[in-house]
Structures are given as structure tokens and as C-alpha cells.
Amino acid sequence: MNYVLAFALLLAYFAMHSLLANDKVKNWFAARTGGRFRFYRLMYNLVATVLLFLLLAWMGRWPEVVLFESNLWTNTVALILLALGGGISLAAFRNYDMGEFTGFQQLQQNNPAPNHSQLNTSGLNAVVRHPLYLGAILLLLGLFVFYPYMSSLLLLLSVLVYLPFGIYFEEKKLRRQFGQVYVHYQERVKCLIPFLV
């Protein structure tokens, strides 16, 4: 029963993450807070981080169910997946302004919603549309192979179940923002796996 509840809470967490990133929610918050809207991105990241930490800490208190025995081969595969996922994630972050991504830039400049008039299709974004998600999947897969526990599997599965919905809402927002430029980008560049998906 704990596993079903944990899976449901992980999905709820990811759904909340998308909801709080929605423009309607941001506009609602901006209309009711005036100048304090510049704190939104930072608070969004803090809430997301704290909730995920609490959820994982709660799951970490259970007795672990081992799904298969680790050996040299599984550990080697795990380390390759972790290295790939980490490398892709780090390379993907190069396309972001980290001050803006974390919310600290908005605090300093009182600029809550930077106006991005040009779609960034350089770096890994020229290979897949969502390199950060690809990196996260590989990291979680590597984590599961290295720690073949039920909690690791639940985390991986919850991300895989949620991602199609998260990507749908994110790309809907990007199509509104960039119009046909993003539609052409979608036609040209695969979503997660080069040449495949």
C-alpha cells in the first residue's frame, strides 16, 4: 500500500510542478501580489525542492525491497547510464541562464518574466527538444540499476508516466510563445531520443 501511495504522491508532485509553471497560475499570482511577483520563480524552485526532498526522505524510511542482485555488469551499466545522464544534463544546462533558471536574477533586477523573443535551438537543443528530460531519465535509470530497490523503480516509473503530460503542457506553452517557429522546430527535431522519438 505504501508503494501505491508513494507512486500517487510522486505523480501529484509532478502535476503540481506543471500547474505552478502554467501561465494562468503565474498571472493569477501576479495580479494578487503586485511587486512581490519577482519572488515567484525562486519560491517555485524552493517549494519543488523541499517537497521532493520530504517525499524522498519519507520513502527512504521504508525497509527496501531488492528487485535483483547487483553485480559487476549491472554496476558497470549503471555507471555508464549515470555518466551519460549527468553529462547530458550538464551540457543541457549550458543553454540556460542559471540566474534566471533559479529565480535569483528576477530578484536582483525586479524582472519576474524575462521576455524571450527568440527560441534557443543551439547546443543539445539542436539534437533533441528536451535534453534535460533525457538526462533525467538516464540518471534515474542508472540510479535504479545501481540501487535496484522498489523506491528507485517507483521514482523512475513516475517520471516516465508523467513526462508525456509534462512535455505536452510545456510544448503547448512554447507554441503559444513562439508560434510557427516552434511548430517547425517540433517537425525538425525529435522530442527525447535523436532520430527516434
Domain that holds residue 33: 2-188
CB 152 within 8 A of CB 144: yes
Residue 194 lies in a domain: no
Confirm whether 65 is domain-assigned.
Answer: yes
Quick check: is 83 in a domain? yes
Model pLDDT, residue 114: 53
Number of domains in the chain: 1
Please report, rounded to a whole number, the percentage of residues in the chain having pLDDT higher than 90: 48
In a domain, 196, yes or no: no
Banded model confidence at residue 39, pLDDT cuts 50, 70, 90: confident
Would 88 be classed as within a structural domain? Answer: yes
Average pLDDT, the chain: 86
* Burial environment of residue 175 by CB neighbours within 10 A (0 to 12, 13 to 18, 19 or more): middle
Is a pLDDT exceeding 70 seen at residue 73?
yes
Identify the CATH number of the domain in which residue 104 sits.
Answer: 1.20.120
In a domain, 172, yes or no: yes
Q: pTM here?
A: 0.84
Using a 10 angstrom Cβ sphere, with 0-12 exposed, 13-18 middle and 19 or more buried, the burial of residue 88 is buried
Considering just the CA atoms, what is the radius of gyration of the chain in Å? 18
Structural domain contains residue 140: yes
pLDDT-based confidence at 195, cuts 50/70/90? confident
Chain centroid offset of residue 3 CA: 22
User: Any idea how long the chain is?
Assistant: 197
Evaluate whether residue 197 is within a structural domain.
no
